[in-house]
């Protein structure tokens, strides 16, 4: 199972619309969009988990694709942390 970061999403994005977008590459096992506390609108990014080969295909097919008028950023989440709690870039 691979976790991907999905960024530059429009405020109108929902877990359903993002899930439908990724469905052509396989089944998303889990999806979580980060939302504003009071409005409930998407803050522009989220995370989705898929099987490894499906995730690679989704990254190749969706990174840079326009969704809601904005080019999406799709990549594997960087889970390796450096000393001091900062993520490695």
Predicted local confidence at residue 77, as pLDDT = 87
| pLDDT tens digit sequence for 61-75 | 999 999 999 999 999
Q: Using a cut of 0.85, tell me whether the model's pTM lies above it.
A: no
* Burial (CB count <10 Å: 0-12, 13-18, 19+), residue 47: middle
In the chain, how long is the greatest CA-to-CA distance? 39
Low-confidence ranges of the chain (pLDDT < 50): none
Q: What is the set of domains in the chain, with CATH numbers? A: 2-76 (3.30.70.330)
Predicted local confidence at residue 78, as pLDDT = 74
Predicted local confidence at residue 20, as pLDDT = 95
């Amino acid at each position: 199972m691979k976790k991907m970061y999905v960024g530059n999403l429009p405020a109108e994005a929902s877990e359903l619309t993002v899930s439908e977008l990724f469905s052509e590459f396989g089944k998303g096992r889990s999806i979580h969009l980060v939302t504003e506390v009071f409005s409930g609108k998407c803050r522009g990014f989220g995370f989705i988990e898929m099987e490894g080969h499906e995730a690679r295909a989704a990254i190749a097919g969706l990174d840079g694709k326009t969704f809601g008028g904005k080019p999406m950023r799709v990549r594997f989440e960087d889970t390796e942390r450096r000393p001091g709690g900062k993520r490695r870039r």
